[in-house]
Structures are given as C-alpha cells and as structure tokens.
C-alpha cells in the first residue's frame, strides 16, 4: 500500500486509509478469484495432471528439447546483437555525416527498415536464401531460416540502434560540441571522441532493452521453420501430448531471461548516469516492441 502522495492521490487520511484497506481486500479477492477460476477450469479439463507438467520439465525435456532450443535462440540472438551494433554504429555515423546526401540516404534506409515488419523481412530473406542455396549451393538449404532470422533481426534492430545513436548525440548538451570545437577539434573528431562515446554510454540501458526485443523477435523464426526454443517446445508438446504445458514452460524460460535483462538495464541506467552528460533513463515507451520515432 503506497502512503506517499502521487499525482492523482494525496497521502490518505484515516478515512481514506480505511477505504483503501476495504478496496484492497476486494482487490485481493478479485485477483485470487480469477486465479482460482482459471485453475479450476484447467483442472476440470484434466490439464493439471502431474505427468503432463512433469514431462514438460523433467531431465529428458530439458536435455532433448529445451536446452537445444534455448541454445539456438541465444546463439541467433547473440550474433544478431553483435551485427546490429555494427550496423547501427555505421548508420548512426552516416546519419550524422556532414554531407546532406549521405544523411538523407542513410535516413531513408533506416526509416524504411523500421517501417517494415520483421516477419515480412524474415519471410523474404528466407525465400531468397533458399533460392540462393538451390541455384548456387553457397549455403546449405537447412541453414536458410537461421541466416534469415539473423539478417532480419540485424536490419531491423540495427536501424533502431542507429536511431538511438543519432538521437543520443542530438540529446547531448550543446556545450559538449562547443567545448570540443573550442579546443580545436574538427567536427569528425568531436563526434568520434566526445559525442558518440557519451551517446553510447547514455544509450546502454536502451541497448540492453533492445536485446530483450531481439530475443523476443527471434521467436518469429518459428514461422519460417527456424529451430529455436518455441519450435523445440512445440515438438516436445506434440510428442508427449502436453502442448499447453510445454509451451507455457518455454514462455517461462523467455520471461525469466528477459526479466533478468530488464533488471540489469534498469540497474545500469542508474549507475551510468554519472559518466555521460546525456540522459540514461530508460524511455517509458514500449520496451518490448518497435517504437519508431518517425
């Protein structure tokens, strides 16, 4: 129960506290009632039977399905994080370039890539790569979903990072740039040595929440036949006849992983604020979705 005043609610007096206590009891009853209702419904359909859940979390499930799936999810996500960073840094610089033509070209590419759904890009890349493997054999046909997921995630998240860097540099106080030019740095030196490093420090927390988005979006690979955690848990579910339970376990793995990353991002936001003149606070926007600042 919060006693400190918020914008809407002043600190409650004795009568207010009594009302809050009453409503709180009603609230607890409502929430508990909802949970009990769901559990009773599940039990009536026989979904709470022990073996269904045990088969979704026992050693064999982890060894044969969940861990291999998690490995591919994390592998694709880790590679995508690295490649998105490179892509994002490159395009972030291009969007700050002194020549208008380069700035505009880079902006159009970045805005285009952010407007197209990741799934649409992945489907296109998958079909294109499968075609390449059929005609030239440069990549194995069964690897095309994997590469499509990585390239798709890189193009989208790289553009988001490019935008983060650009807005990070624009968000720095003007004095930073003025001080750099006052001690005789050129525009490029000032960008490279003073502004972008501070922008990167400032965007570290946003970058970490971008990793959450990458991990979540890697599950889109399921739709183009990439064998990641969701695909494996679906196999587990259809093999053992406990689809719901296997999928819930996979969802829990995603939730735990992403919650830890979110907590680290929040902790970092507090710690890094002294090392940059930019703002490190996480934007309160949709942390788990694409938030283009068009």
Partner 1 sequence: MGELLSQYDVLGAFWMNIKLTVLAAVGSFVIGLVLALCRISPIGSLQKFGAAYVNIVRNTPLTIIMVIGVLGVWSQLQVQLSSDFDFNFFLYAVACLSLYHASFVCEAIRSGVNTVPLGQAEAARAIGLPFMDAARLVILPQALRGAVTPLGNTLIALTKNSTVAAAASVAEVSGMMKTMMEFRPDVMVFIFCIVALGFCLIVIPIGICTTWLSDRLAVAR
- Binding residues for partner 1, rule: CB under 8 A, are 1-2, 5-10, 12, 20, 23-24, 27-28, 31, 42, 45, 47, 111-112, 115-120, 123-124, 127-128, 131, 212, 215-220, 222-223, 230, 234, 237, 243-244, 247-248, 250-251, 254-255, 257-259, 262, 284-294
In this complex, which beta carbon is closest to partner 1, that of residue 97 or of residue 123?
123
Closest separation between CB of residue 293 and partner 1, Å? 8
Rounded CA Rg of the chain: 24
Residue 85 or 116 having the CB closest to partner 1: 116
CB 161 within 8 A of CB 207: yes
Nearest to 55 by CA among 65, 46, 45: 65
Q: CB of residue 274 vs partner 1: minimum separation in angstroms? A: 23
Question: By C-beta, is 129 or 202 nearer to partner 1?
Answer: 129
Nearer to partner 1, 237 or 278 (CB): 237
What are the tokens at 76?
Answer: 């694709």
Helix ranges restricted to H, the chain: 14-44, 50-57, 59-61, 67-95, 100-115, 118-135, 144-170, 174-182, 187-189, 196-218, 229-240, 243-272
Give the residue among 166, 170, 165, 154 at the shortest CA–CA distance from 113: 154
């Amino acid at each position: 129960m919060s006693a400190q005043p918020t914008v809407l609610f002043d600190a409650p007096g004795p009568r207010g506290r009594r009302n809050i206590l009453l409503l709180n009891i009603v609230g607890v009853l409502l929430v508990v009632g909802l949970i009990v209702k769901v559990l009773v419904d599940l039990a009536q359909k026989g979904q709470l039977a022990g073996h269904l859940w045990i088969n979704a979390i026992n050693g064999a499930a982890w060894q044969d399905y969940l861990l291999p799936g998690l490995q591919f999810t994390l592998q694709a996500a880790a590679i995508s994080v690295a490649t998105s960073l490179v892509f994002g840094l490159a395009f972030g610089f291009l969007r700050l370039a002194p020549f208008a033509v380069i700035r505009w070209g880079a902006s159009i590419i970045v805005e285009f890539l952010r407007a197209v759904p990741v799934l649409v890009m992945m489907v296109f890349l998958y079909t294109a790569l499968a075609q390449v493997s059929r005609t030239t054999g440069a990549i194995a046909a069964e690897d095309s979903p994997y590469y499509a997921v990585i390239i798709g995630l890189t193009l989208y998240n790289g553009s988001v990072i490019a935008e983060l860097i650009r807005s990070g540099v624009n968000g720095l106080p003007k004095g930073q740039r003025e001080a750099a030019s006052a001690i005789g740095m050129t525009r490029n030196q000032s960008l490279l040595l003073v502004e972008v490093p501070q922008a990167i420090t400032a965007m570290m927390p946003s970058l970490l929440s971008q990793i959450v988005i990458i991990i979540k979006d890697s599950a889109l690979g399921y739709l183009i036949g990439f064998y990641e955690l969701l695909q494996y848990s679906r196999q587990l579910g259809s093999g053992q006849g406990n689809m719901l339970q296997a999928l819930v376990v996979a969802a829990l793995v995603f939730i735990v992983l992403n919650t830890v990353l979110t907590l680290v991002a929040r902790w970092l936001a507090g710690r890094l604020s002294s090392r940059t003149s930019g703002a490190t606070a996480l934007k309160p926007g949709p942390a788990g979705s694409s938030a283009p600042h068009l």
